[in-house]
Chain A
C-alpha cells in the first residue's frame, strides 16, 4: 500500500530498515494525520531532528474525522458561515452503515471484518474533498479539513461570533491583528497551502517542527525515528546525515519581495519581515543548501 510519487526521490535502499506503514503516502487531510506521524518522517529543516512525536498507534485516527463527517448528510449547516467548510457528504455512496468500527478497534466480534472494508472503500473517496477545495484567502482554517457536525460541542452563536472575530483579524491589517501574524506557507509539490501564526512560535526550531508536522503527509519518511524524544539537537554526524538526505529548504519572502533563506536573522526580525513562507525543494535550492549546513555547524 505504499505509493511513492515520482517527485520525492527518497532512496529506496533505505526501505528495508523502514517501517513501510510509516513511509506510506496517504491522501489524508492535513492535520488529521499529525498525531499519527513521527517527526522524523518528514524533511528536516535546518538539519535538526525534532522531538519524536508520540504515536498513538491507533491507525484509524486519520480517518475518523473524515468518516464522522461523511455521515452527516442531514444537518451540515454550520449556520451560514461557509468558511468552515462543508462536511463531506459522500458517505452514503460508500458502505458506511456503521461508523463505530473506527472508534472501537478492539470492539468485539464483527468489527474486524468491517474495518478493512471501510478502510479500503474509503480510499477512493478521501481525495475528493482535498482536491476540490481551495484555501480561502483570509481564512484561518483550510477549508479542506473534514469537520464533524456538532463537534466540538459549541453553540452556533459562539462559533459564529468567534469566526467573525478571527477573520476580521486576518483581513484587516494584512493578516495581522492583535496577537497573531498569519502567513501563508507553501510547499513545492503540495496541492494546497497552509497558514501559520508566527506569533505562536518563539524560535526557528519551534516553527520548523510545526511546519514539519503540518506537511509531513506529503513526504516520505527518510528513516524511522532515532528515539530522540526530548532532544532538540543532534550530534554532528546525525546532522550531516540528515542534511545529505534533506529534500527541502525553508525560505521566506520578505517585505522587499526577495526570497531569503530562513534562519539568518534573529527570530524577532524574521517575524517582522516575513510575508510568506515557501518550503522549497532541495534541488531548486542547491545553491543555498551548503550554507544551511555551515550555519548549523556553526550553531552546534
Chain B
C-alpha cells in the first residue's frame, strides 16, 4: 500500500494517474477508485473493469489480490508478474479435464515449479495456493514451504507428481497454516508420518482434508492437533481412522462445519455406540458429511441426530441400499446437495424425492462402472422420482444404463432451472431403450427448457440433431462434453456457430473432422480451450489452424502406431504466452 512503491514501479503509466494530475477527466482520485475496486472479488468482474479505460486497468491491477488462471499455459509467470504486483492468493489449473480419465499421458506438463519461482520473487507474501490438475514435485512443495513465511492455505485437487514427503515439508515449515486440503491426487503415499510433522505449536488449522490418502496416520498426533486447533471447521480424515477414534476426535471438535469420517465399519460395544451417537448429536453446526467408507445399516443411525442440519451429504463411497438411504434422508430434510452410489437404486432415489424438497444438486455415481447388467444401478425412474419431489434441482450428474427421451423431457419440465446437466448413459451410443430412437429429443428438451444451462454433458445415441438443438437454444452454455456422439461435421459446426458463451468444448470419439475444426477458427479465441480426441481431424487442418491463428496454441498428441496424417488428440487453447516451451516430445506444438 506504499504510494512511493507504486510510482517507481509504475513507470509505464501515464501522468494521468497521479492524484495531482489535471489531465485526468476522471473525478475521483486514484485512492478512491482503488478503494472501491478492492471490494470486487469476482475475477470476471475484475476483467471487465480492467477493460474500461487505462485508469481503471491500473487501479484494478493494483487492487487485485486473488489470481485465477484457468489454463496455466494461457499466460506466463513473467506476464503475470508484470501486471499484478500484489497477489496473495493464486488458483491455477493445468491439464485438460480429460486427463482425469487417463486420456492425457504422464509428463504432459503443467508443472507448477516455474510459477513458484516467480511467486517467490514477486509475491513473497503469498498466502494461498490452489492447484487443480497440475504437476508438482516434492522439491516444489519444499520450496513452497520455505519461501513464503506467511503461507496459509494449500489446496491440491487432482494433481500428481508428489508424495507424502512433500506434505511433510508443508506441515513442518508452514507455521501459520490454516488450510491443508489434499483431494484425489495421484501421489506416492509413503506413510502417514507427515501428519506428525505439524509442530506442537501449530494451532491455526481451520481446514484439514486428507481423506484420499491411504496410509495410517498417527492417531495420537491427529488427536492432539485437533485438540489444539480450536478454529478447525473442516476435518476430513482417511479410512485409517476408526469409529471409536472418530468419536474421540468429535469430542474435541464439536464446532465442525464439515466432517469426513473414516471407516464406518467396526465392532462397537453398546457404550461405544452410545458415545458415538452422543458425539454426533453434539455437532450442532455440522453442514456437510462425507467419508462413511463401508458404512452399513448397523452404524448409520448414529448419524441421525446430526442429519437435521446437514445441507451436503456425500455418500459416494458408501454402497448403501435403498432402505438405508431412505432412512438417512428421512432425517435430513435440509439437504441441498446429495452424492450417492447407484447401489441405492431407483427406490432409494424415490425416497430422496419425497424427503428432500430443498435438494439442489444430485450426483449418482456407478458402483460398478463396467457392469453391463441392467439389474444394477439406477434408471430413468429414479431420476424422474427425484425431479418430481425436488423442484429446485439445478445440478445433476447421473450415471445410468438406460434412459428415455420422454423421461428427460418430463424431468426438465419438473425442474426447468438446470444450470448443470450431466447425463452419462454408460454404454456408448445407447438409444432410448423403449423407442430405440436416438436421444436427440432428450437433450433438445434440456436446452429448450433450461435457459440457464451453463454446463452440459451428453451421452447415448446422438445424431447431428442434438447439436443443432444445442446451437440453437443453449445460449448460456459455457461447457460442453461430448463422447461417442454426432453424425457429421455439421453437428460440431452448429455448436461453434450457435453458442455465444461457449468456453470449454471437449469431444472424444465422435465423427467430427477438419471442416468442423476449422469452422471454429474465429471462435476459439473467445474460448478457454477445445479438446478433440479420436475424432476425424488430420494434421494438415491443425497446421492450418495454427498458422491462421497465432494467438492460439494448437497441440497434437499422436497415438502409437497411428497414421502420420491423423491428429489423434488435439488440444487448442488461447494464449498470450506463445507456444509452450516445456512440451514433452509427444506433444507437437504447431
Nearest opposing residue in chain B for A163, CB measure: B368
Binds A, one of B4-12, B87-95, B101-109, B193-201: B101-109
Asked if A149 and B535 sit within 8 Å, CB to CB, the answer is: no
Please pick, from B186, B429, B557, the residue contacting A79 in the complex, using a CB distance under 8 A. B186
- Chain A residue total in the interface (Cβ 8 A): 64
Residues of A within 8 A of B317 (CB): 158, 161-162, 165
Task: Say yes or no: is B431 at the interface (Cβ < 8 Å to chain A).
Answer: yes
- Give the docked Cα–Cα distance between A110 and B341 (Å): 43
Q: Is the interface of B mostly helix, strand, loop or mixed?
A: loop
Please pick, from B186, B434, B563, the residue contacting A54 in the complex, using a CB distance under 8 A. B434
Asked if A65 and B428 sit within 8 Å, CB to CB, the answer is: yes
- Give the docked Cα–Cα distance between A145 and B373 (Å): 13
- Give the docked Cα–Cα distance between A32 and B103 (Å): 23
Binds A, one of B22-30, B115-123, B252-260, B482-490: B482-490
- Give the docked Cα–Cα distance between A112 and B370 (Å): 30
Q: How near does chain A come to B396, taking the closest CB pair, in angstroms?
A: 15
Asked if A153 and B430 sit within 8 Å, CB to CB, the answer is: no
Asked if B428 and A154 sit within 8 Å, CB to CB, the answer is: no
Given contacts A106-B463, A141-B368, A153-B424, contact A54 B105 (CB under 8 A): no
Residues 32 to 63 of chain A near chain B (Cβ within 8 Å): 32, 34-35, 54-58, 61
Residues 342 to 366 of chain B near chain A (Cβ within 8 Å): 343, 365-366
Q: How near does chain A come to B485, taking the closest CB pair, in angstroms?
A: 8
Task: Say yes or no: is B243 at the interface (Cβ < 8 Å to chain A).
Answer: no
Asked if A98 and B536 sit within 8 Å, CB to CB, the answer is: yes
Please pick, from A31, A65, A97, the residue contacting B563 in the complex, using a CB distance under 8 A. A97
Asked if B488 and A107 sit within 8 Å, CB to CB, the answer is: yes
**Of A150, A151, A196, which is in contact with the most chain B CB atoms at under 10 Å from its CB?**
A151
Residues of A within 8 A of B139 (CB): none
Nearest opposing residue in chain B for A85, CB measure: B370
- Give the docked Cα–Cα distance between A200 and B373 (Å): 10
Asked if A73 and B560 sit within 8 Å, CB to CB, the answer is: yes
Q: How near does chain A come to B267, taking the closest CB pair, in angstroms?
A: 15
Asked if B510 and A210 sit within 8 Å, CB to CB, the answer is: no
Task: Say yes or no: is B371 at the interface (Cβ < 8 Å to chain A).
Answer: yes
- Give the docked Cα–Cα distance between A149 and B137 (Å): 26
Nearest opposing residue in chain A for B557, CB measure: A74
Task: Say yes or no: is A155 at the interface (Cβ < 8 Å to chain B).
Answer: yes
Given contacts A74-B559, A201-B375, contact A154 B101 (CB under 8 A): yes
Residues of B within 8 A of A54 (CB): 433-434, 436
Q: How near does chain A come to B504, taking the closest CB pair, in angstroms?
A: 14
Asked if B510 and A100 sit within 8 Å, CB to CB, the answer is: yes
Please pick, from B321, B365, B429, B511, the residue contacting A58 in the complex, using a CB distance under 8 A. B429
Given contacts A34-B372, A141-B370, A153-B483, contact A68 B428 (CB under 8 A): yes
Please pick, from A101, A106, A200, the residue contacting B375 in the complex, using a CB distance under 8 A. A200
Please pick, from B343, B368, B431, B557, the residue contacting A179 in the complex, using a CB distance under 8 A. B343
- Give the docked Cα–Cα distance between A179 and B318 (Å): 12
Q: How near does chain A come to B97, taking the closest CB pair, in angstroms?
A: 9
Please pick, from A56, A103, A154, the residue contacting B510 in the complex, using a CB distance under 8 A. A103
Interface size class of B (residues with CB under 8 A): 35 or more
Given contacts A64-B428, A107-B488, A155-B184, contact A141 B561 (CB under 8 A): no
Please pick, from B101, B433, B487, B511, the residue contacting A153 in the complex, using a CB distance under 8 A. B101
Residues of A within 8 A of B343 (CB): 179
Nearest opposing residue in chain A for B427, CB measure: A35
**Of A61, A75, A77, which is in contact with the most chain B CB atoms at under 10 Å from its CB?**
A75
Please pick, from A35, A104, A161, A166, the residue contacting B368 in the complex, using a CB distance under 8 A. A166
Q: How near does chain A come to B404, taking the closest CB pair, in angstroms?
A: 11
Nearest opposing residue in chain B for A57, CB measure: B436
Residues of A within 8 A of B365 (CB): 154, 158
Task: Say yes or no: is B534 at the interface (Cβ < 8 Å to chain A).
Answer: yes
Residues of A within 8 A of B430 (CB): 35, 56
Q: How near does chain A come to B200, taking the closest CB pair, in angstroms?
A: 32
Asked if B373 and A210 sit within 8 Å, CB to CB, the answer is: yes
Residues 374 to 399 of chain B near chain A (Cβ within 8 Å): 375-376, 399
Asked if A56 and B431 sit within 8 Å, CB to CB, the answer is: yes
- Give the docked Cα–Cα distance between A50 and B101 (Å): 38
- Give the docked Cα–Cα distance between A176 and B362 (Å): 30
Task: Say yes or no: is A117 at the interface (Cβ < 8 Å to chain B).
Answer: no
Given contacts A34-B372, A152-B424, contact A99 B436 (CB under 8 A): no
23 contacts between A and B (CB under 8 A): A31-B373, A54-B433, A68-B534, A71-B559, A73-B560, A75-B104, A75-B105, A76-B102, A77-B102, A92-B561, A98-B536, A103-B485, A103-B511, A107-B511, A108-B487, A149-B103, A150-B103, A151-B428, A152-B369, A155-B158, A157-B185, A158-B365, A166-B367
Can you name 18 extra interface pairs (CB under 8 A) apart from A150-B103, A152-B369, A214-B373? A31-B373, A68-B428, A68-B484, A75-B102, A100-B509, A100-B510, A103-B510, A104-B486, A104-B488, A141-B370, A141-B371, A150-B98, A152-B424, A155-B100, A155-B184, A156-B186, A162-B369, A165-B317
Q: List chain A positions with a Cβ less than 8 A from chain B.
A: 31-32, 34-35, 54-58, 61, 64-65, 68, 71-79, 84, 91-92, 97-101, 103-104, 106-108, 140-141, 145, 147-159, 161-162, 165-166, 178-179, 196-197, 200-201, 206, 210, 214
